[in-house]
Structures are given as structure tokens and as C-alpha cells.
């Protein structure tokens, strides 16, 4: 194993933003893959058909060997790069903040995932709410929305659905799979359950299973949503905004460091209307967090959020891979190579989790490089500071050790 510390600080993000603007894929559109074959879920239920919303960037080469599958994080979307102002059928959830790609600084001409070299795919999760089949989708043949009747999903189900998409695109083996946060769960699940279908594996700020702290944080969010009177057992006609916003505020403080939160919340207190009865928002950080919760509730579906949280609660790489141990699981992966990223200020997926992952990879004799990046921004550094990741990511995608 190679273990390196990338100490670039927070500089370079602004200049990379300009590069991404110049090298962006430009205006893009969401595509829809409609799978008409029965799809069996880990819970035992079966979807008679499903749809995945996805985007692609770059050109698939003649031998179909240059595909890179990017998994978005928990509440992200298929729109990883470029400009997409409209996805049909989303009932207003495609808000203005969604128009720009969430990884614009990573995907594009000459960037880390170079669209001059690679064919990049990003799909919205099964169970999501940005065009893929999920609780907000209309169920056939009755024409009603799934709502609370949408079945539980697991990380392996999301991966399996995207393997159907790869089959549809005629891609037998990926050049690479890349994912951060929960997207890292998906990356690891694909790599261990379909080892013959990917060569290079890049899990970023993630881990091999759900930690106790994550489970508790997720439970707090679930409770906030379910206890909102507007939730109505999941059969709501009006989004349970209070519960969903509260859940997001609970999560948000683990996504960014306290230092970054302090920097972002330096402005004045801005509240359009008093949100509470007796207590009034008095501090900028309260105003900032209240705004974050409300902004999120406008763009996401509560039932989808619960399904994804539930999948996170149950994630265990060994169990989902039908293995008896990490060594058995990763012994399937010796023909792959791994680049594992840690963020030293990460409070959501602490570096110890990547250390545990690397330990198991080494024990199974899987080639792995571990990069620890120094950032003051916390977990979301993988979104905010491309300069910390780009050299290493570009290096391994180019086939260099």
C-alpha cells in the first residue's frame, strides 16, 4: 500500500472553478432507461419494471473500454456536470441550485475525469426523486404515486439497477467506478459483487459499513420526518417540510466542519418569517442552518429520503456481498486497484473508516493507495476542493500507479 498525505490546504478551488466553467460539458440533458423486466429487491419484493434517470459525458470508444461510472452522494442527482435547467416530471423539485453539475470541477475536458478520454455515466438512485423510480413516481398500472407503498431498498439494489443500465449501454467492464460518501458504498458494492466488471475503484470519504454514530444520526433524521404531522404515515399530499428540513439540519452539521460552518454563517440573521413561537432566531449560524433545511425541503421528497436513510442504516459490505469475512470478500478483487481518499476533518466518515477499509484490502492482497487530504471544510471537501483530489484521481485513471 501507498499512503500519502495531500497537504494542499484550501487554495486552488477558486481557480479550478474557472477551469471547470471553461471545460464544462456545456448544456446537457437527462436520459431515461426503462427496464421492462422484473427486478427483485433484497427485501423480497419485486418491481415489475423501473426507470433510471442518467446523464453521460464524453464519447464511448469503439471497444467500449473507457467508461467511468460515477455514483452521486446521498441527496445528489444524475446531473454531475454541465448545465441542465430542466428535468421533466419532477413537480418543482428541480430547483435552480440543481441546474449546475454537482461535480463540475471534476468532470470535463482536461479535468480529473477527462471527457476527452472517458465516457462518464451518472445515474440517479433507484428510490431517488430526480427521475428514477422511487416513492414520488407514478406506479403502473393504477396511475397512483408509490408514496409510502414503495418497498425498502438496499445499497446492493441500487447497484444492481445500475448494472442493468450498463448492460443496456453495452458496457461489459468499466474503466473505473468512483463515488464519495454513500456513493462510496455503491462503489465498493459494485467492486466486490461484480469484480469482473470494473478495473479501477475509487472510494472517497466512505467506509465498509455503517458506524454507530451514523446510525444514530440517521435515526434522528428518520424520527424528525416521521413525527411531522404532515407526513401522514408517508401518504402525504403536502410535503412534510418541517420534518424534512429538521432532518437536513441534523445531517448538515456532519457534512461540513465547524470551522467551515462558522465561515459560511458570518452574515446577518435573515429569516423571512418567524419559524417558531417563543424562540427567535438570533445568531447567523442559526439563520444559515434554517435556510439550509428549507432549501433542501424544497428540492427533495421525504419518502425518498427515508428510503435512502434506511439503505444506509442496513449497509454492511460483507453481508451484502454474501461473504463470511472481509478477506473472503476482497479476495475477489485482486485484479482491481484501489485509490482510497480520506479527509482529515471529516466528521461524517472519519478517517478511521478508510483506515479500516485499507486494512482489509491489504489483508486480501489488493493493490491500494491511500491518500489523506488536509482540508478545513470537513466531509464536503470532496465537493468544494477539487484541487485536493484531482492530481491523484487523474493519475490512477490514466493507468499509473
Q: What is the pLDDT of residue 401?
A: 60
Q: What is the pLDDT of residue 19?
A: 42
DSSP SS3 for 300: coil
257 carries an active-site annotation = no
CA distance 340 to 372: 8
Cell output for 50: 423501473
Burial class (CB in 10 A: 0-12, 13-18, 19+), 8: middle
CB 208 within 8 A of CB 317: yes
Q: What is the pLDDT of residue 16?
A: 38
Half-sphere exposure of 188 (CA within 13 A, CB side): 31
CB 108 within 8 A of CB 57: yes
Q: Which helix (H) or strand (E) holds 67?
A: strand 67-71
CB 114 within 8 A of CB 221: no
pLDDT tens sequence across 133-186: 999 999 877 888 999 999 999 999 999 999 999 999 999 999 999 999 999 999
Q: What is the pLDDT of residue 140?
A: 72
Q: What is the pLDDT of residue 241?
A: 96
Q: What is the pLDDT of residue 14?
A: 34
Burial class (CB in 10 A: 0-12, 13-18, 19+), 31: middle
Show contacts of 27-32: CB within 8 Å, 24+ apart: 27/82, 27/83, 27/84, 28/55, 28/57, 28/79, 28/81, 28/82, 28/83, 28/84, 28/101, 29/55, 29/84, 30/54, 30/55, 30/78, 30/79, 30/84, 30/87, 30/130, 30/131, 31/55, 31/56, 32/131
CA distance 218 to 214: 6
Q: What is the pLDDT of residue 12?
A: 33
Q: What is the pLDDT of residue 4?
A: 59
CA distance 113 to 397: 8
116 carries an active-site annotation = no
Kindly name the residue from 181, 209, 304, 342 that is annotated as catalytic: 181
Low-confidence residues in the chain, pLDDT < 70: 1-21, 271-275, 400-401
Q: What is the pLDDT of residue 251?
A: 95
- Does the 215-297 domain belong in CATH 3.30.70.2520? no
CB 197 within 8 A of CB 166: yes
Burial class (CB in 10 A: 0-12, 13-18, 19+), 88: exposed
Q: What is the pLDDT of residue 3?
A: 61
11 carries an active-site annotation = no
Please, where are the H alpha helices in 298-399? Answer: 302-314, 317-320, 326-330, 351-363, 381-384, 390-397
The domain locations on the chain are 2-211+316-397, 215-297
Residue 248's CB is within 10 A of a number of other CB atoms, namely: 23
Q: Whats the size of the chain, residue-wise?
A: 401
Kindly name the residue from 304, 346, 360, 392 that is annotated as catalytic: 346
User: Could you say which of 3.40.50.1820, 3.10.150.10, 3.10.20.30, 3.40.190.290 is the CATH number of the domain covering 2-211+316-397?
Assistant: 3.40.50.1820
Helix (H), strand (E), coil (C) string for 190-230 = HHHHCHHHEEEEEEECCCCECCHHHHHHHHHHHHHHHCCHH
> Model pTM greater than 0.75?
yes
Kindly name the residue from 79, 175, 260, 379 that is annotated as catalytic: 379
Q: Is the dihedral of CA 82, 88, 89, 90 positive or negative?
A: positive
Query: DSSP states of 152-197 as a string?
Result: P--HHHHHHHHHHHHHHHT-SSEEEEEEETHHHHHHHHHHHHSGGG
Q: What is the pLDDT of residue 265?
A: 83
Amino acid at each position: 500500500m501507498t499512503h500519502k498525505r495531500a497537504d494542499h490546504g484550501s487554495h486552488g478551488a477558486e481557480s479550478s472553478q474557472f477551469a471547470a466553467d471553461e471545460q464544462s460539458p456545456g448544456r446537457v440533458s437527462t436520459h431515461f432507461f426503462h427496464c421492462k423486466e422484473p427486478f427483485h429487491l433484497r427485501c423480497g419484493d419485486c418491481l415489475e419494471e423501473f426507470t433510471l434517470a442518467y446523464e453521460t459525458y464524453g464519447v464511448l470508444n469503439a471497444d467500449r473500454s473507457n467508461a467511468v461510472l460515477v455514483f452521486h452522494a446521498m441527496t445528489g442527482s444524475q446531473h454531475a456536470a454541465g448545465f441542465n435547467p430542466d428535468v421533466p416530471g419532477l413537480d418543482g423539485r428541480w430547483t435552480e441550485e440543481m441546474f449546475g453539475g454537482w461535480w463540475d470541477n471534476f468532470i470535463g475536458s482536461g479535468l480529473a475525469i477527462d471527457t476527452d478520454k472517458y465516457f462518464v455515466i451518472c445515474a440517479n438512485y433507484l428510490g431517488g426523486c430526480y427521475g428514477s423510480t422511487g416513492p414520488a413516481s407514478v406506479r403502473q398500472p393504477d396511475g397512483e404515486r408509490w408514496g409510502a407503498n414503495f418497498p425498502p431498498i438496499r445499497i446492493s439494489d441500487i447497484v444492481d439497477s445500475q448494472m442493468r443500465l450498463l448492460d443496456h449501454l453495452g458496457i461489459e467492464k468499466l474503466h473505473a467506478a468512483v463515488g464519495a460518501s454513500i456513493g462510496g458504498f455503491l462503489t465498493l458494492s459494485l467492486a466486490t459483487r461484480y469484480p469482473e466488471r470494473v478495473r479501477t475503484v475509487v472510494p472517497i470519504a466512505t467506509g465498509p459499513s455503517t458506524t454507530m454514530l451514523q446510525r444514530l444520526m440517521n435515526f434522528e433524521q428518520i424520527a424528525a420526518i416521521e413525527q411531522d404531522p404532515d407526513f401522514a404515515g408517508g401518504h402525504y399530499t403536502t410535503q412534510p417540510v418541517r420534518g424534512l428540513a429538521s432532518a437536513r439540519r441534523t445531517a448538515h452539521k456532519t457534512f461540513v466542519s465547524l470551522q467551515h460552518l462558522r465561515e459560511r454563517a458570518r452574515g446577518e440573521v435573515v429569516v423571512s418569517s418567524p419559524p417558531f413561537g417563543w424562540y427567535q432566531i438570533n445568531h447567523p449560524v442559526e439563520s444559515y442552518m434554517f435556510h439550509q433545511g428549507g432549501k433542501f425541503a424544497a428540492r427533495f421528497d421525504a419518502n425518498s429520503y427515508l428510503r435512502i436513510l434506511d439503505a444506509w442504516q442496513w449497509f454492511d459490505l460483507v453481508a451484502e456481498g454474501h461473504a463470511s469475512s472481509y478477506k473472503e470478500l476482497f479476495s475477489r478483487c485482486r485484479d482491481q486497484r484501489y485509490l482510497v481518499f480520506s479527509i482529515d476533518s471529516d466528521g461524517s466518515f472519519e478517517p478511521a473508516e478508510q483506515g479500516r477499509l485499507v486494512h482489509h484490502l491489504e489483508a486480501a492482497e489488493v493493490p491500494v493507495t491511500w491518500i489523506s487530504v488536509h482540508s478545513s471544510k470537513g466531509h464536503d471537501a470532496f465537493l468544494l476542493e477539487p484541487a485536493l483530489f484531482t492530481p491523484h484521481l487523474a493519475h490512477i485513471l490514466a493507468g499509473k500507479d
